Amino acid sequence: MLMFLGVDAGGTKTVAVLANEKGQIVGYGKAGPGNYQAVGLKTSIEAITSAVRTALASAGTSARPKFAVLGLAGVGRPLDYERLKRALSGLKLFKDTELFITNDAHIALVGAVGQEYGVILIAGTGAIAFGINQSGEQARADGWGYLLGDEGGGYWIGLEALRAALRDYDGRGPSTLLSQYLCQRLEITHPADLVEWAYHNKPSVSTIAALAEIVFTAAAQGDRVAMRILHQAGTALGRTAASVILRLNLVDKAFPFVTLGGLLKGETSVLLLKPVQKLVHSVAPLAQWRSPQFPPELGAIILGFSRRGLLSEMTLANLAKGIKLLEEKEGYEEKI
């Protein structure tokens, strides 16, 4: 039986899903972060292979996927594609598998709307916008990592919170609840202790990104500094999405627009979404805001079927049933 493999390797975790030719989910695996720009090529490959092996083992079959779509965070340049393709295709695990490697935003868009058309804005640990127009042209903006980009993402927000607390401590900036909340969260006595925490403990990107939660909490209590940080983040995200829309000449088109990621869901996300909506509407008033249909890993499966000319309503229906099955698996965290 023809098998399809879909992989979503992101900044927080790597998920692999195996489906048969009918679109029925038969295998699932999860591993650690797979963004090779953040964790390095070796660790990224280890995460991908671990998730895939787990998915194959859970399928209970010796059959290997004939076609695999891998959506990898940190892949945005020709050099990235070649480097990952060379590393993965040389593995025995993928000996008889045709690999299609793309970035994680691509599979997220396909999963969100069920086709290769539209624009998606993703804000989690990092931030990226990606789109495809009716001519098949692609465009992306940001997603350049915590050092050079990802403006408005979780890491960016967490870092701004740390800076705001130190400005408060110095008297260089306004008083903010962030100072108190950070001390409590990090179990330190004074904001000045943030220096040792940051430079000696060397917190990971995901650890700093997790501090964004504190900013949302403080903003919900009316803290002006926290509210300003979130407004600035939302504005940055809106500009990122708008740049993709403009480059794809979608300003006067009706197209699916989807937001995805932990920062853009839940009640508190409105502080980020308002400036995003304002900027997107100003450049593309016909944009059709939609809720995502499938998580990115199933977007990879859909893309695999589509590229092979095998995508059908039955396939999509079986994949939709597969979402419920995945949710029932221990440790599965729904991304949409």
- The order of strands in the sheet holding 67-72 is 25-31, 14-20, 3-9, 67-72, 98-103
pLDDT on residue 310: 80
Domain ranges of the chain: 3-114+293-328, 117-291
Q: 103 near 123, Cβ under 8 Å?
A: no
Tokens at 33, concatenated: 């972060």
pTM over 0.75: yes
CA 14 from chain centre, in angstroms, equals: 11
Which residue(s) pair with 72 in the sheet? Answer: 9, 103
Residues 6+ apart with CB under 8 A from 226: 161, 164, 176, 177, 178, 215, 216, 217, 218, 219
pLDDT score for 335: 43
Homologous superfamily of the 117-291 domain (CATH): ATPase, nucleotide binding domain (3.30.420.40)
Tell how strand 25-31 and strand 14-20 pair up.
antiparallel
pLDDT value, residue 328: 63
Taking the C-alpha atoms of residue 50 and residue 257, their distance in angstroms, rounded to an integer, is: 33
SS3 (DSSP) at 282: helix
Contacts of 155 (CB under 8 A, 6+ apart): 125, 126, 146, 205, 208, 209
Domain 3-114+293-328 falls in which CATH fold? Nucleotidyltransferase; domain 5 (3.30.420)
Burial class (CB in 10 A: 0-12, 13-18, 19+), 82: exposed
Cα–Cα distance, 167 to 179 (Å, whole number): 9
Please give the DSSP secondary-structure letter assigned to residue 273: H
pLDDT along the chain (336 residues), means of 10: 86 86 87 80 86 85 81 81 83 84 90 90 90 92 87 95 94 93 90 89 88 93 95 95 96 93 80 91 93 89 86 83 66 44
User: Is 117-291 the same fold as 3-114+293-328?
Assistant: yes
Strand partners, 30: 15
Q: Is 250 helix (H, G, I), strand (E, B) or coil?
A: coil
